[in-house]
Chains A and B, each alone.
Chain A
Amino acid sequence: MVVLILEVALILVGLYATIVLRSLIKKVIGLGIVNSGIVILFVEFGSHTGSRAPILVEGITDVVDPVPQALMLTAIVIGIALTSLALVFAYRLHERYGTLDIGEIEHLSRAELEPPDKAHPDQGGHEEASE
């Protein structure tokens, strides 16, 4: 029970960071924490069925459920891909706007797209070649 509460708490901490904090990087860290929390949740759930490593040789019983572990390997890999991509976005946005504050960036990018009055919306001018 205590373990379960701790796992849920870990996920909630990550969610808090992702939802409430304003820094692009801290949001990514938050996602990482959520991801880790879920990995621990799965692996710990799999361990309810036994206590030994699921290397099936003659005479072994009392093994943990290997399926959640196998799944979490996949989830970790996906998590790495997502984290690196999110960091690339954060880096590029910082390069462009000089800040990591999500509210400020949203404000600036919107002003760029639809200027308050008659000036033309700027979204073609800064485009670079895409590769």
Chain B
Amino acid sequence: MTLPLTTVLVLPLLAALASLLEKSVPRLAVSRPASLVAVAGAMAAAAFLSPHVFAADFPTMVVGGFPSGVGITLRLDGIALFGVGIVLTVSLSALLFSFADIRFGPLYYFFFMVMVAGMVGAILTTDIFNLFVFLEMFGIAAYILVAWSRTGHALIAGYKYLVMSSVAMAFYLVGVLLLYRVAGSFELDRIAEVVATADDRTRRLSTVAFILLAIGIGTRTAFVPYHTWLPDAHASAPHPVSAVLSGVMIKVSFLALLRLLFAASDARFGAVFLWLGAGTAVAAVVVALAQFDMKRLLAYHSISQMGYMLAALGAAAALSGKGAAAASLMHAGSHALFKSLLFLCIGMVIATSGERDLRKVVGTTAARSARLARRMPIVFACFLIGALAIAGMPPLSGYVSKKAVLYATHNVPVAYWMLQAAGVGTVASFIKLGSVFLARGSAGPSDAGDRSELTRDRYLPSPFVAVALLLLAGATLLLGVAPGRFAATVEALLAASAPTRSFAASTSASAPAISAPYTLNALAETAIVLAAGVLLTFGVRSRAGYRITALLRAPRVGLNAALVLMVAGFLVFYLVTV
């Protein structure tokens, strides 16, 4: 079982090496096939191992042949299998999408595959220092890919991302040291055991340590107030990279956070994350509603949807919601699929129209006198699936997982209503975004024509794009059609995970509201949310609405302010929990 486990991690690295080889010997042209084979091979290896995982016989490997406890342990448990699954699926689609753009050379595929390998490693490892190494590994690849276009805003986005996450990692390392002092080990399982039986003084120390770790990982996961790097980074990256960043990269650190919370087994963290999540969901959706830059709009929605997951996770850790841990994982999974789908669809819109601004795309399509929906029907259909899923409409995965999250938080009415309100905002902003496909618009700017000529030939009309989009759209639809299967699988994966023993109460109970969400009540609720969303759309379009959203667009948090916010966030976190 060691060999397939090694394969999952090493194949992407080998593909990265092959791409580097092509850089020096251009005749070889191996980077694309090698990357594709590596991701597919890693998927096959993970699928081969999955029966063992469900049987709770975890494939485990200690790097370098050291005895367990000394060497670094890589282990594929239920949560890890879930994470590897979404990382590889989304990476595969993004990779296929990348093939359509001839400008991406071997170096691009090198960094892309290093990023994939880093994410897989971060999911597999059970060692918190090794987690730091993998976080930095895919982090460095991500900083470079964010700045890939070398435009001014992409460079500053990359720099900002780098500096913020480096400061976050400094917090993280101090936390690692404190936990090493407490437990004498970096293994998360061992730490969980020690913390569970510790006396008061040690517990206080470990609480501080866990806060430091949570801030470090939380910055990478981008919840308010550590989110400020995300809209810039995700909006500036090339489209397929945006899909990976928003779809799975923030989920990787989220899964690490989930393991950490289970290890800390401290109900106070649960409450903090519940409120942090609900607040994040609402605040980010309000800002998203005000955006006209299509990729920024999607990026803010990623933050908002992270809020849903975080709220459910908080409910799980506070032991107040049945099936809450499963709900947060379900939403993580479905969001990974539909958000990357949305980024790829909008990527195609931007590539076709040459504009990122919603208002201007409407202009250019009018100038070409054909609606985008008619010119690219597959992209439009896939966008529709993604947008309906993120808005929580049946019968798509987003509906199922959002209902699960809402059910998980229904014991805490205020948080529950905050999440419902965020749902209304999501509906409204995707009506706004969807208008790019349909609107005839007024006469476009005169210079639009040559600009779009400039950008249009970058993405060749390629079957790869269609395959990538249909793969993600199909998965989104499938998870929505079979909610019982979806919920049962996620719960089985959670049950087959090492660190969730103490949370059996909040995970194992299979609630009907999660596994069979298509009830009349729930559908009526969704209809109300939809109606409210439509009303909100009109509100935002009105003159008063425009003024309010203009106010929300104006302030942009600079790097220095963001860093101050981060340190302040740590202090607040500390005061609330200790």
Contacts and interface: CB of A to CB of B under 8 A. Distances in A.
Contacts of B558: 102-103, 106
A121 interface: yes
B105 interface: yes
Contact of A19 (B144, B177, B445, B560): B560
B54 interface: no
Contacts of B150: 92, 127-128, 130
A92 B152 CA distance: 9
Interface residues of A, number: 53
Interface in B137-172: 140, 143-144, 147-153, 155-156, 158-159, 162-163, 166-167, 170
Contact of A92 (B155, B166, B455): B155
B156 A106 contact: yes
Interface stretch (B242-250, B353-361, B415-423, B474-482): B353-361
Interface in A38-73: 38, 41-42, 45, 67-68, 71
Contact of A109 (B107, B132, B152): B152
A1 to B, nearest CB: 15
B546 interface: no
A116 to B, nearest CB: 11
Interface residues of B, number: 52
B564 interface: yes
Interface in A17-53: 18-20, 22, 24, 27, 31, 34-35, 38, 41-42, 45
A71 B129 contact: yes
| Main SS at interface, chain B | helix
Nearest to B158: A89
Interface in B161-218: 162-163, 166-167, 170, 173-174, 177, 180-181
A13 interface: no
A76 B539 CA distance: 53
A123 B148 CA distance: 13
Contacts of A18: 163, 167, 563
B104 interface: yes
Given A106-B558, A128-B150, A41 B174 contact: yes
Contact of B107 (A20, A114, A124, A131): A131
Tell which of A41, A85, A129 has the most Cβ of chain B within 10 Å. Answer: A85
B205 to A, nearest CB: 13
B559 interface: yes
Nearest to A71: B129
Interface string A95-131: 0110000110110111011100010110111111111
B183 to A, nearest CB: 12
A31 B356 CA distance: 34
A120 B169 CA distance: 38
Contacts of B155: 89, 92-93, 96
Contacts of A105: 152, 156
B562 to A, nearest CB: 9
A15 B559 contact: no
Nearest to A18: B167
Contacts of A92: 147, 150, 155
Interface centre among B132, B136, B445, B564 (most CB of A within 10 A): B136
B156, B556, B567 interface centre (most CB from chain A within 10 Å): B156
Interface string A1-17: 00000000001000100
Given A89-B147, A103-B558, A106-B556, 18 more contacts: A22-B560, A67-B180, A74-B133, A81-B140, A85-B144, A85-B162, A86-B166, A90-B159, A92-B147, A92-B155, A102-B558, A113-B293, A114-B357, A123-B151, A124-B354, A124-B455, A130-B104, A131-B107
Interface of B: 103-105, 107-108, 129, 132-133, 136, 140, 143-144, 147-153, 155-156, 158-159, 162-163, 166-167, 170, 173-174, 177, 180-181, 293, 354-357, 360, 445, 447-448, 451, 454-455, 556, 558-560, 563-564, 567
